[in-house]
Amino acid sequence: MFDDTVYQFSAPLLNAPPTTPGSTAPSISLDEFRGRVLLIVNTASKCGFTPQYTGLEMLYRAYKGRGFQVLGFPCNQFGAQEAGTEEEIGAFCQKNYGVTFPMFAKIEVNGPGAHPLFRFLTEKKPGILGVFGAGNIRWNFTKFLINRQGAVISRHSPSTDPKSLAPAIESLLDNR
């Protein structure tokens, strides 16, 4: 049976060591986050929206004890604003914003190389311009809110301040 949730996807974590020399980093299944409210965000280190890491981290710290998780996916498809190595990305996020939520390896969110998770997210919530833009992600820091059952509940633009999502997150956390 087809799984119509985000739990069917996996991706390698940022800076995850390969299991054997010369191999790629192992992927982590999003099924490991089953039962939590998720905020999935495509990120970049050199973007005008990069300061949103602060708000994302604040949300994560405020609600993680209640079953909330932010998942960051660096992407270099918009203005080459995430050109660094995985080590550089991880160090930047930690040093400048104290990021403690999981960051995944750099991915693409649009086009033929788009990660299957982001193809799924944009299919479920194509956005306001979805009819014209085929649901593509338009820029860094597009946010998808996922309920405890793994369903995509809403899509939020890069300009949406993370703290403005607190009421929606609280509502999803309260609904088991």
Q: Annotate the chain with three-state secondary structure.
A: CCCCCHHHCEEEECCCCCCCCCCCCCEEEHHHHCCCEEEEEEECCCCCCCCHHHHHHHHHHHHHHHCEEEEEEEECCCCCCCCCCHHHHHHHHHHHHCCCCCEECCEECCCCCECHHHHHHHHHCCCCCHHHHCCCCCCCCCEEEECCCCCEEEEECCCCCHHHHHHHHHHHHHCC
Q: Is 93 annotated as catalytic?
A: no
Q: Which of 6, 11, 47, 109 is catalytic?
A: 47
Residues noted as catalytic: 47
